[in-house]
């Protein structure tokens, strides 16, 4: 175990080109921005001051304990992300915030369908995201950004296929700068297993999209098996329950299927009961590519550096271990990384 101070760790992380492969648009909105929008448009919950408003956006350990509790935090942002200019502004701020955290490659996830209540199309929603990200990248030319489109599990397989057809024109290869690089399913896991989305994921592969799947966060290892065997996932989002099945751990390692690990979020959603028991070190020891990510920085109250510092403290990681984790994220990104990889 390396003996290094917190200051040493922070300084070391500041030297690395960090990568976040699992960050959600509507879970990363600045509370101040939402508050200002609530003053401009209307109050989503009347009678709250800023502190009360902010508390509705963030995890509360005294009230929240499940994935569904966690997902409830997205209702307020959705009141204000139905308009082109708002989406553009928020996307720009998310990219700026990521850059300030030391992130040099960001894959931002969004489901366009839930931002269409005021009349936007899916492509207009993604155009707004692209414009916002592009504005940030002009100020930060060493920042790489791509978009992962999410299909909501509770919308069903047919809607997932329709969404693919709507957004195929936003693929990165059709644009000179930023575009869609991947496809995902998210939302309540238990009622909507991966097997319901086999056809959409076959179509996504045919269309040339890389694939990541939220699986094994609120369900057992069988959900991860389905994600890799039926959906041909390149990466797994969360995947905490995989540790319960030694054969699955070996499969993930053998096929080098990366697991996007979001430790703080995993504790808050109940995916793990104690962070000391998080499967991250087991995954690493088995040879699974682990990609430390944030999930929802606003909801969870974290930055990517926070998540690395947490992993270092909990599991006694060395500088070499951290370099390996950052390298995994670069190597398994859906965007070809331009940054020099940590040795």
SS3 for 244-260, per residue? Answer: HCHHHHHHHHHCCCEEE
**pLDDT the model gives residue 44:** 78
User: Which of 207, 104, 232 has its CA nearest to residue 149?
Assistant: 207
**pLDDT the model gives residue 68:** 87
Residue 339: band (very low, low, confident or very high) from pLDDT cuts 50, 70, 90: confident
Dist CA 145 CA 19 (whole Å):
10
Q: What are the boundaries of each domain within the chain?
A: 6-331
**pLDDT the model gives residue 330:** 97
Domain at 6-331: CATH code: 3.20.20.140
Q: β-pairing, 103-110 with 210-215? A: unpaired
Residue 93 has pLDDT above 70, yes or no: yes
Residue 1: band (very low, low, confident or very high) from pLDDT cuts 50, 70, 90: low
Give tens-digit pLDDT for 286-316. Answer: 999 999 999 999 999 999 999 999 999 999 9
Positions annotated as catalytic residues are 217
Q: What is the mean pLDDT of the chain?
A: 95
**278-299 core/surface letters (b: 16 or more CB in 10 A; e: else):** bbbbebbebebbbbbbbbbbbb
pTM of the model as a whole:
0.96
Non-local (6+) Cβ contacts of 300 within 8 A are 27, 58, 59, 262, 264, 265, 268, 294
The pair phi, psi for residue 235, each rounded to 5°, is -140, 160
Dist CA 147 CA 75 (whole Å):
21
Give tens-digit pLDDT for 97-134. Answer: 999 999 999 999 999 999 999 999 999 999 999 999 99
DSSP line for 193-208: -GGGGHHHHHHHHHTT
User: Which of 223, 108, 225 has its CA nearest to residue 172?
Assistant: 108
Residue 3: band (very low, low, confident or very high) from pLDDT cuts 50, 70, 90: confident
Residue 284 in tokens: 């690493």
Kindly tell me the burial class for residue 319, based on how many C-beta atoms sit within 10 Å of its own C-beta (0-12, 13-18, 19 or more).
middle
Give tens-digit pLDDT for 22-67. Answer: 999 999 999 999 999 998 888 878 888 999 999 999 999 999 989 8
């Amino acid at each position: 175990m390396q003996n290094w101070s917190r200051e040493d760790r922070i300084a070391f992380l500041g030297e690395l080109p960090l990568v976040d492969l699992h960050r959600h648009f509507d879970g990363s909105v600045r509370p101040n921005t939402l508050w200002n929008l609530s003053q401009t448009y209307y109050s989503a919950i009347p009678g709250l001051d800023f502190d009360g408003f902010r508390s509705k956006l963030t995890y509360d350990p005294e009230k929240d304990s499940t994935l569904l509790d966690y997902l409830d935090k997205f209702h307020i942002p959705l009141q204000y992300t139905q308009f082109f200019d708002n989406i553009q502004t928020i996307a720009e701020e998310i990219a700026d915030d990521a850059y300030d955290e030391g992130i040099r490659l960001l894959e931002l996830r969004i489901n366009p369908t839930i931002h269409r209540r005021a009349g936007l199309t899916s492509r207009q929603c993604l155009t707004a995201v692209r414009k916002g990200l592009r504005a940030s990248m002009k100020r930060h030319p060493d920042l790489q950004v791509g978009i992962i489109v999410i299909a909501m599990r509770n919308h069903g397989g047919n809607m997932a296929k329709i969404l693919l057809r709507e957004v195929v024109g936003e693929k990165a290869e059709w644009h000179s700068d930023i575009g869609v690089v991947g496809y995902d399913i998210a939302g309540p896991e238990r009622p909507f297993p991966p097997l319901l989305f086999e056809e959409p994921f076959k179509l996504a592969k045919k269309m040339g999209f890389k694939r990541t799947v939220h699986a094994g966060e609120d369900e057992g290892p069988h959900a991860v098996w389905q994600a890799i065997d039926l959906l041909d996932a390149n990466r797994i989002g969360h995947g905490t329950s995989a540790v319960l099945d030694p054969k699955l751990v070996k499969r993930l390692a053998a096929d080098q299927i990366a697991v996007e690990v979001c430790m703080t979020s995993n504790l808050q959603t109940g995916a793990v009961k104690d962070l000391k028991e998080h499967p991250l070190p087991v995954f690493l020891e088995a040879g699974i590519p682990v990609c430390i990510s944030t999930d929802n920085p606003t909801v969870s109250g974290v930055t990517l550096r926070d998540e690395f510092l947490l992993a270092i403290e909990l599991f006694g990681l060395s500088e070499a271990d951290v370099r390996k984790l950052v390298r995994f994220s670069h190597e398994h990104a859906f965007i070809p990384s331009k940054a020099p990889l940590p040795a």
